[in-house]
């Protein structure tokens, strides 16, 4: 397999997600940004009582741009286009608050999880500001439409990326990209890596990823306060050579959190993220089993 310059990236444009793909990935590494979407449907804005800044406070704003160099480096990157407050793909599809809907939700819906009680189901009841989003209750058909148009296509695309990586290399390292707000009552590290306390990724792999980050002078925490979500749980299977890490990046490093605008720190952080990616490619290559048709550097 050619280890030289990666082939030209390809853009797969769906109605509700962007897949920045590469025809010949350079390593068994997959990146995704499920919460950085900022295309707000007009019908959703009419349903909402909140202003745009309040709605956008739920975004992992511009995380996709921090890692936009990935395809040019030979690493595929999947990005949701729809906003998290409209459809949160890091939840089970029917993880919903019954009180938000006029009719009964289907049998098997998860209506009493911690996330639902906190107002953050697949369709959120509140925005990041803690204020209620909707003017009125929704029909159950609204949930079905968002699952069909956003949730399912995103997860199908993500599963296809992981399957292709596993088929080609025999292993997959998937980093799920997020951002975390500054918390006045808690001093957080620059980056928190979540592996569901060892369930979604082998410990040595997390150690190597953390070392790559620390080489870029990031302070790194593990699993507190973010251990991972639905995506990490659904896809992480270290015993089957699929290693999944949720990466939470401090918004204060690159974002004016009140205005949801890039700050002066963004360009420098973007360069550090690119340098980290170059090191992470090496971590992923080292995972390839012998005889898989790929010889890591």
Task: Quick: pLDDT tens for 221-242.
Answer: 999 999 999 999 999 999 999 9
Domain extent listing, the chain: 10-83+166-285
Cα 156 → chain centroid: 14
pLDDT for 98: 98
- Where is 56: in which H helix or E strand? helix 52-56
pLDDT for 186: 85
pLDDT means over runs of 10, the chain (297 residues): 47 71 94 97 96 95 97 96 97 98 97 97 91 97 96 95 97 98 91 98 98 98 97 97 98 96 98 98 94 47
Return phi, psi of residue 237, to 5°.
-150, 75
pLDDT for 110: 98
Say what the pTM is.
0.92
Q: Which CATH homologous superfamily contains domain 10-83+166-285?
A: Zn-dependent exopeptidases (3.40.630.40)
Cα–Cα distance measured from residue 54 to residue 43, given in angstroms and rounded to the nearest whole number: 17
Note whether 33 and 76 are within 8 A (CB).
no
């Amino acid at each position: 397999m050619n280890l030289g310059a990666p082939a030209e990236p390809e853009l797969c444009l769906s109605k509700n997600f962007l897949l920045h793909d590469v025809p010949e990935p350079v390593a068994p590494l997959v990146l995704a940004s499920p919460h950085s979407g900022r295309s707000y449907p007009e019908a959703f804005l009419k349903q909402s009582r909140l202003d745009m800044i309040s709605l956008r406070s739920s975004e992992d704003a511009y995380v996709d741009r921090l890692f936009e160099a990935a395809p040019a480096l030979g690493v595929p990157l999947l990005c949701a286009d729809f906003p998290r407050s409209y459809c949160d793909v890091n939840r089970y599809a029917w993880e919903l608050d019954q009180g938000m809907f006029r009719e009964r939700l289907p049998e098997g819906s998860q209506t009493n999880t911690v996330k639902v009680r906190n107002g953050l189901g697949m369709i959120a009841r509140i925005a990041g500001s803690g204020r209620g989003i909707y003017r009125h209750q929704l029909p159950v058909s609204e949930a079905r439409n968002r699952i069909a148009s956003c949730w399912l296509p995103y997860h199908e695309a993500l599963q296809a990326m992981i399957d292709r990586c596993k088929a080609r290399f025999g292993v997959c390292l998937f980093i799920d990209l997020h951002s975390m707000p500054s918390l006045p009552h808690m001093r957080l590290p620059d980056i928190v890596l979540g592996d569901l306390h060892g369930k979604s990724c082998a410990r040595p792999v997390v150690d190597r990823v953390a070392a790559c980050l620390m080489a870029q002078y990031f302070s790194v925490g593990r699993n507190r306060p973010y251990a991972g979500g639905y995506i990490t749980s659904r896809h992480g299977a270290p015993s089957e050579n699929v290693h999944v890490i949720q990466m939470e990046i401090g918004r204060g490093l690159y974002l004016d959190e009140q205005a949801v605008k890039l700050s002066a720190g963004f360009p420098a952080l973007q360069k550090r993220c690119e340098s980290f990616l170059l090191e992470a490619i090496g971590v992923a290559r080292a995972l390839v089993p012998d005889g898989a048709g790929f010889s890591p550097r």
